[in-house]
Structure 1
Amino acid sequence: MIALNKPSGLQVLPGGLFQQRTVLTQLQWRATKQSSSILCHELHLAPVHRLGRGTSGILLCAKTKLAKTRLAAYFADGTSHVGGSSKNSLELSAKRKILKIYRALVSGIVSEDEVIVEQPIGIVQYPGVAKGLYVASPSGKPALSKVEVLERDVEKNCTLVKVEIQSGRPHQIRIHLSFIGHPLVGDPLYVVGGRPQCFDPEFVDDSFAPDGGFMRPAKPVPGDCGYSLHAHQVTLSHPTTNEVIEVTAPLLPILRTRQEAQEMSI
Structure 2
Amino acid sequence: MLLNDGYVYREQLGHRRGLNALAHLADRYRHSSESEWRARFERGEVQLDGVIVGGLEPLRAGQWLCWHRPPWEEPDTPRTFELVHEDAELLAVVKPPGLPTLPAGGYLQNTLLSLVQARWPEAVPMHRLGRATSGLVLFTRTPAAASHVASSWREGLVHKRYRALSLGLAAHGDYDIRAPIGLVPHPRLGEVHGASERGRASHSTARVLERRAEHTLFEVDIHTGRPEQIRIHLAFIGHPLVGDPLFAAGGLPRADNPGLPGDGGYLLHAESLALPHPRSGVRLRLHAPPPVALRC
TM-score (norm 2): 0.67
The answer for the alignment partner of 1:150 in structure 2 is 209
Report which of the two structures shows the higher radius of gyration computed on alpha carbons. Answer: 2
Output one character per residue of 1:65-90: Cα deviation in whole Å (capped at 9) or x when no partner. 11112212222333xxxxxxxxxxxx
Structure 1: how far apart are the matches of 2:258 and 2:185? Answer: 13
* Contact 1:46 1:61 survives alignment (8 Å): yes
Q: Give the secondary structure class of the aligned counterpart of 2:278.
A: coil
- In the alignment, which of 112, 125, 133 is matched to residue 23 of structure 1? 112
The answer for the alignment partner of 1:165 in structure 2 is 222
The answer for the alignment partner of 2:155 in structure 1 is 77
Is residue 139 from structure 1 mapped to residue 198 from structure 2 by the alignment?
yes
Output one character per residue of 1:124-180: Cα deviation in whole Å (capped at 9) or x when no partner. 3535548x4110000100001101001111x2x001110011111010000000000
Name whichever structure is richer in helix by fraction: 1
The answer for the alignment partner of 1:109 in structure 2 is 169
Structure 2: how far apart are the matches of 1:127 and 1:27? Answer: 35
Aligned-pair RMSD on alpha carbons? 1.7
- In the alignment, which of 264, 275, 282 is matched to residue 225 of structure 1? 264
- Point out which structure has higher relative CO (alpha carbons under 8 A, 6+ apart): 1
* Contact 1:75 1:168 survives alignment (8 Å): no
Q: Which runs of 4+ in 1 moved over 4 A?
A: 127-130
Residue 221 of structure 1 aligns to which amino acid in structure 2? L
Structure 2: how far apart are the matches of 1:152 and 1:195? Answer: 24
* Contact 2:163 2:217 survives alignment (8 Å): yes
Output one character per residue of 1:209-246: Cα deviation in whole Å (capped at 9) or x when no partner. xxxxxxxxx95111111111000011111011111111
Structure 1: how far apart are the matches of 2:218 and 2:268? Answer: 10
Q: Give the secondary structure class of the aligned counterpart of 1:53.
A: coil
The answer for the alignment partner of 2:132 in structure 1 is 54
Residue 94 of structure 2 aligns to which amino acid in structure 1? N
Structure 2: how far apart are the matches of 1:235 and 1:151? Answer: 24
Q: Give the secondary structure class of the aligned counterpart of 1:68.
A: helix
The answer for the alignment partner of 1:255 in structure 2 is 294
Unaligned segments of structure 2, at least 5 residues: 1-89
- In the alignment, which of 132, 140, 144 is matched to residue 66 of structure 1? 144
The answer for the alignment partner of 2:248 in structure 1 is 191
Unaligned segments of structure 1, at least 5 residues: 33-43, 79-96, 200-217, 258-266
Identity %: 43
Structure 1: how far apart are the matches of 2:286 and 2:128? Answer: 16
TM-score (norm 1): 0.74
